[in-house]
Structure formats: structure tokens, C-alpha cells
Amino acid sequence: MTCGDARGLFSELAESELADAEGAVVRRHLEQCAECAAQFEAFRRMAGAIERLPDPAPSEGARLRIQSVLLSQVEARRAAPEVMDVKELAAYLAITPEELEEEVENLPAFEFAGRLRFRKAAIDRWIGAREEERRRGIELSRLRAWRAPLLAG
Ligand SMILES: [Zn+2]
């Protein structure tokens, strides 16, 4: 293996992406070649520094898009009518109408004139029950985790 070969594989070596045999050949070269070893050290330090760089802030356009999505969700919640159709409920729950269609069986709904409708008050109660269920589930799993060693002993 030449110095050029070894240096061409630095990034794969640093990411542990080389096959065992190939990695061993490059490492053996590094043990025998002080210059490549020093270069690999420098490469690793730089790669680490690049990785630690903070992610760039979102662009102005992306920021505005995120803001407008958030605003429309807040708006949907504030303006949600007492009785909602699928599209309005999807906006209220901040999911897509397609996602809602999949879960629609689990929601309190009524049918009128062949159309599915949702009462905001019923949906809010349903959300409250789901929150409570989730909180209890979390508490129960904490309790189980705490009791498990006692039961085992
Ligand atoms: Zn070398």
C-alpha cells in the first residue's frame, strides 16, 4: 500500500467503513509511516471539529414557512367551529386528512346526511381522555420498573 492509497482511505477508516482486511492494511501502513500517521491524526481532528459545528440556522425562507405553518395551526385551533368536517378536524389535530382517515374509527363522530362530522367538545373530551391514559401508562411503567427488582428478589 502506497502513502497515496492510504490517504485516499482516511475518511473510510475514520468512519470505520472499511472491510476488516482493508482496514488492517491501512492501519499497518499507519504504524509504519509516521508521515501518514500524523496526517491521519490531523484528518481525524478536523473531521471531529466539523462534526461539532452547529447546524446552520434555517434560511429566512425556511423560517417564514415554518412560521406560517405554525400560525395556520394556531389559527385552525382558535377558529375551529363547534362541528368540524374531516379537513377541519385534521387541521385542528395538526395532522393530514389522510392520517385522520386511518384513525377515524377511533374518534367520536356522528353521521348526518351521509357525511362524517365531529363535535369539537367531544373531540376535546377524547383528547383529554387520551392524555390521561398516556399519563397513567407512563406512571404504571415507572411503577413496574420500580417494583421489578423487589419482585425478582
Ligand atoms: Zn505513508
Q: What string of pLDDT tens digits covers the 153 residues of the chain? A: 899 999 999 988 988 888 889 999 999 999 999 999 999 998 888 888 877 887 777 788 888 888 777 777 667 666 778 999 999 999 999 899 999 999 899 999 999 999 999 999 999 999 999 999 898 888 888 877 777 676 665
Distances (CA, A) of 7 to 16, 33, 110, 145: 15, 11, 68, 50
DSSP 8-state class, residue 57: P
For residue 120, report the phi and psi dihedrals to the nearest 5 degrees. -60, -40
Cell reading at 108: 367520536
Q: Cβ(104)–Cβ(112) under 8 Å?
A: no
Q: How far is the CA of 42 from the centre of ligand 1 (A)?
A: 14
**Residue 100: how many CB atoms within 10 A of its CB?**
18
The CA distance from 138 to 141, in Å, is 5
- This prediction's pTM: 0.45
Q: How far is the CA of 109 from the centre of ligand 1 (A)?
A: 72
Q: What is the 14 CA–ligand 1 centroid distance (Å)? A: 16
> How far, in Å, from the CA of 2 to the mean position of ligand 1?
6
Residue 23 Cα to ligand 1 midpoint, Å, equals 14
* Grid cell in block for residue 26: 491501512
- 8 Cα–ligand 1 center, Å: 11
Question: Residue 110 has what pLDDT?
Answer: 95
Tracing cell 491524526 back to the chain, one arrives at 41
Read off the C-alpha cell for 5.
492509497
Here the cell at position 50 is 466539523
Please give the distance, rounded to the nearest whole angstrom, from the Cα atom of residue 4 to the centre of ligand 1. Answer: 7
Distance 56 CA to ligand 1 centre (A): 36
- From the number of C-beta atoms within 10 Å of its C-beta (0-12, 13-18, 19+), residue 106 rates as exposed
